[in-house]
Amino acid sequence: MKKTIYLCVLTLLTAVSAWSFQSEITAFFQLEGDKLIMPDPDEYRRWELAGVGVVPNDLNRHRAIFPGVHLVYVDPVAYKHRRDRGFYPDGTVIVMENFHQKSQEGVSGKGYFESGPRDVLVSVKDRRKFTSKVWSYYLFTDKDIKKGINKKAAMPKSDCQACHISAADDDEVFTSCYPRLSPGKTKAKPIK
């Protein structure tokens, strides 16, 4: 009898610790109602840096959608999944931090440098939560961040997701822009 009780307690403890481990590794985003709480920069800057891009306004006739320096972070669990198994799992969170840029000539030469403000763009994949659309997109502009707004509802499909569905190469993600996740593959044309 004692042995049975001991075994039951042991099974229960194993189940509880497995559950807490599971919830720990997948909790890279937090929703409050229909709003996403902006991921904490101190956290996501420790995730995997998948790629860096510079989209200067002056190369785009001042019409780029998000001109600036793009740093793309993928949560570590999703990063490992995509790299080792080839897909983004439910719970994936990707943050694109867009630093506004200014061009200047300095000691290191002519170049583009961070000018201060930044926007935070987030995509979250979760087929259980976002049943009809799989991925949800959130935008925290430099103005939101300045005002301390740290919760936002998902953006309308036409503002973000439509472009990702039609133009991205891999499950709505522009994986080919991220060399560490797709070495040697890119669809983008070099500028002559």
| List 139, 142, 157, 169, residue binding ligand HEC (CB under 6 A) | 139
Among 67, 152, 174, 181, binds ligand HEC (CB under 6 A): 174
Q: Is 181 in the site for ligand HEC (CB under 6 A)?
A: no
Query: What are 139's two structure tokens?
Result: 């935008």
Q: Tell which phi-psi region holds residue 10, choosing left (phi > 0), alpha (psi between -120 and 50) or beta.
A: alpha
Based on CB atoms, which residue is closest to ligand HEC, 15 or 164? Answer: 164
Residues 25-54, mask of contacts with ligand HEC (x by CB under 6 A)? ----------------------------x-
Cα separation, 44 vs 30, in Å, equals 13
Long-range contacts of 185-190 (CB under 8 A, 24+ apart): none
Chain contacts with ligand HEC (rule: CB under 6 A): 53, 55, 65, 70, 72, 94, 96, 121-123, 137-139, 155, 159-160, 163-164, 167-168, 173-174, 177
